[in-house]
Amino acid sequence: MRFYTKQHQYYCGIDLHTKKMFICILDAAGQIRVHQNIKTDQETFLNIISPFREDVVVAAECMFTWYWIADLCAEKNIPFVLGHALYMKAIHGGKAKNDKIDSHKIATLLRGGMLPQAYVYPAKMRATRDLLRRRNHFMRKRAELYAHIQNTRSQYNLPDFLGRIAKPQNREGIVERFHDPSVQKSIAVNLEMIQAYDHILTQLEHDIITSAKEHDLRSYAEIPP
């Protein structure tokens, strides 16, 4: 676990949501300078922290809306710390919990050098990572369809005639092995969905490999001679 331990004059903790964000700014002595619920908006955020821009660090918990705040801080040369959600829960979890309390806890952990850090993934590579995650999601959905076909075979105690149905050539004649028309329809629908996922995943994997190669070339290009 890595903690953010750099010292600053001001520490800004944000409990971030899609429409609202609760901001707590502490000074080096631990006094609250700002504790306010504002709309999730770049200009509003910058206006709030403008009196403290000389030496402020901003922290937010790692959740799905953190991209924009990290990129804004990077653009404005404001130090940004992404809090590790799991470790933060272990450290400051408690019964008393709301947006106001959470923002103050984040700022307090930041000031005390006890904020566990998550990795701020490079902005240029996030879209490729998210596409990889989407691929994994579709892979799991396809695996569920495989499992349902195999489980249905077991329900009717049929011989293990299926083989590795991940291979398209092994899917021929599967529907006819089941006798009930409703079961046949269920298996046929599964196979249609599997075929669709096969097509989608093939395209996704091609795009991901192309994108990853571009990132690799960029990284080499950015290394000074």
DSSP three-state, residue 115 = strand
Q: Give me the percent of the chain exceeding a pLDDT of 90.
A: 72
Question: pLDDT, tens digit, for every residue of 87-107?
Answer: 887 666 665 678 899 999 999
Same domain (yes/no): 138, 170: yes
pLDDT for 161: 64
pLDDT for 91: 62
In terms of residue numbers, what domain contains 49? 3-116
pLDDT for 163: 65
Round to whole Å and give the CA distance between 34 and 11. 10
pLDDT for 166: 83
| pTM confidence score | 0.80
pLDDT for 216: 67
pLDDT for 57: 98
Same domain (yes/no): 109, 53: yes
pLDDT for 221: 44
From 72, 24, 71, select the one nearest 52 (Cα to Cα): 24
Question: pLDDT, tens digit, for every residue of 154-170?
Answer: 999 987 766 678 888 88
- Distances from the Cα of 146 to the Cα of 9, 65, 134, 182, angstroms: 57, 34, 19, 18
pLDDT along the chain (225 residues), means of 10: 94 96 97 97 96 97 93 97 87 71 94 94 90 96 94 88 77 90 96 96 94 70 43
Same domain (yes/no): 187, 95: no
Structural domains in the chain (count): 2
CATH of the domain at 74: 3.30.420.40
Same domain (yes/no): 76, 175: no
Q: Where are the beta strands (DSSP E) in the chain?
A: 3-4, 10-16, 20-27, 32-39, 56-61, 80-83, 115-116
Same domain (yes/no): 94, 42: yes
Query: Pick from 116, 138, 157: which residue ends a domain?
Result: 116
Same domain (yes/no): 10, 29: yes
